[in-house]
Amino acid sequence: MNPPELILVLGDQLTAGKGALKDARPGIDTVVMAEVAEEASYVRHNRHKIVFIFSAMRHFRDELQNAGFEVIYYPYEAGKTSLLDAVHSALQECPAERVRCCKPGEYRLLEAMSEWHLAVPVELVEDDRFLASGDDFADWAKGRKQLRMEYFYRTMRRKYEILIDAQGKPEGENWNYDKQNRKGWRGKDTIPVRPTIEVDNITAEVIALVTEHFPDHPGDLDQFYLGVTAAQAQSQLLWFIDQGLPKFGEYQDAMAEESPWLYHALISAYINTGLLDPLEVCRAVERAWREERCSLAAAEGFIRQILGWREYVRGIYWMTAPSYADRNALDAHRPLPEWFWTGATDMRCLEKALRQSLDLGYGHHIQRLMIIGNFALLAGLQVQQVCEWYLAVYVDAFEWVELPNTLGMALYADGGLMASKPYAASGKYIQRQGDHCASCRYQPAKMTGPGACPYNSLYWHFINRHAEKLGDNPRLGLALNNWRRKDRDDQLAILTWADTELERLVPPVSV
């Protein structure tokens, strides 16, 4: 029999039988878990995120103990306990001859763990909760001039035979039904009422702890809404498939004044922490389509986010780390405005997206990309500051998923490695996708002067200042031609107004 091991389980690795817990032996191996102060505070994490992870960890500890494991658990203690300290302490309590841990999801932490010096060897095992390993992604990327997600996604569909017919072709003959999933919100459909999740004693204790120790972090914990066990996560998935999925496709890009959720699943945090298995989620949604409980466009659009996009951004992250984080292809250096941490702006769509993100730790992809990210892109906000904000604010944000989505997709700071064009848009796009403009003091049809939507002049300011750098991009040809055809006086008026708006909205930092 192999000697006993100490198994370190991180807060985003809460899956029994996978990762470091694969082949783990109850009664022989010991599990160590720690609510680590430095991990909870290295950025200004949303309090929903801290409560969710700490409570999920405590519930997972209890599940492991009920399965016969000895678990050494270190609860949060302000200013104390690093992961290394926790492992050192645990080794003094148990006779392990090796430490085993699943590779962490952030390069920062992997680098730190690779430098640990312990009395016993440390084994870092691959994270088998993902559907494409680093080697899988590298093999796919080898020799390609462009690493477009769409083609990676098709490879993953074939590999796992999801939404594939008996002849090996995509169901419905098309790989992508995105064009059917862009309906704007006009308040004509009924939004389903989401079931509430009871806050048990463990979660209540964690809420009190986080309220005391993280008073300056964002997050309104009176609105805590997350499940903290695999069973609760599964219940949320089943509710979504029954109530949200039928309309998810139509409205996945929509924004509504009356609802932060619309028909979205709200399960990314569960998948990213191990409470839900991504492949099982995809197969459950595929079954719903085969049972005629949703459209093919809805099922495909949802599955693409998990089987395609989630695996793709992780591949990009590990293939380019650590230098990717320093990229700034558009030379964006304006400081992040303080109102990003309060939501205090009179731009209605941006205010709603910011306040929702800060209060709930949640925003769907259009709010993150085309409202908040679009403003950051157009205004030229400093890339690393924006990335740190996204990492801090969202419950489902871990660097492997946050960094490519923010730096590459929202800010185009990787120069087009991920995105085929910058995702820049004017107020007309925002008006088309939601109903915020009706409650806004700004007019989406107005370009300059009092009451003009800032997104409009900022859009053309962005196009103008990057015209040379982006001039060869075929997807921007129409926009560039439209700008060049404008009368010179009109151009100067737009640029002057945009400069005024930038000074107002993104004031320089006082020294």
Q: Which of 125, 144, 175 is the last residue of a domain?
A: 125
455 alpha carbon, distance to own chain's centre? 24
* Mean pLDDT computed over 151-164: 98
Residue 511 has pLDDT above 60, yes or no: no
Enter the pTM of the model: 0.97
What CATH number is attached to the domain comprising 62?
A: 3.40.50.620
* Mean pLDDT computed over 79-84: 83
Q: What is the pLDDT of residues 104-138, one digit of tens each?
A: 999 999 999 999 999 999 999 999 999 999 999 99
Q: What is the pLDDT of residues 414-441, one digit of tens each?
A: 999 999 999 999 999 999 999 999 999 9
Handedness of CA 429, 432, 435, 438 (dihedral sign): positive
Instruction: Please report the DSSP string for 122-169 in residue order.
Output: EEEE--TTSSS-HHHHHHHHTT-S---HHHHHHHHHHHHT-SB-TTSS
pLDDT at position 465 is 97
pLDDT at position 481 is 96
d(CA 440, CA 273): 37
Q: What is the pLDDT of residues 440-460, one digit of tens each?
A: 999 999 999 999 999 999 999
Is 330 a member of any domain? no
d(CA 218, CA 392): 9
Q: Are residues 172 and 221 in the same domain?
A: yes
Q: Categorize the per-residue pLDDT at 2 as very low, low, confident or very high, splitting at 50, 70 and 90.
A: confident
What CATH number is attached to the domain comprising 387?
A: 1.10.579.10
Q: Are residues 142 and 100 in the same domain?
A: no
Residue 510 has pLDDT above 80, yes or no: no
d(CA 107, CA 223): 32
Q: Are residues 261 and 376 in the same domain?
A: no
pLDDT at position 509 is 59
Structural domain count of the chain: 3
Handedness of CA 135, 139, 140, 144 (dihedral sign): positive
Q: Which of 320, 349, 379 is the last residue of a domain?
A: 320
Q: Are residues 98 and 79 in the same domain?
A: yes
Domain limits for position 457:
338-505
Q: Are residues 118 and 153 in the same domain?
A: no
* Mean pLDDT computed over 92-99: 93
Structure tokens at 4: 């006993």
Q: Are residues 93 and 140 in the same domain?
A: no
Q: Are residues 165 and 95 in the same domain?
A: no
Average pLDDT, the chain: 96
* Mean pLDDT computed over 187-203: 95
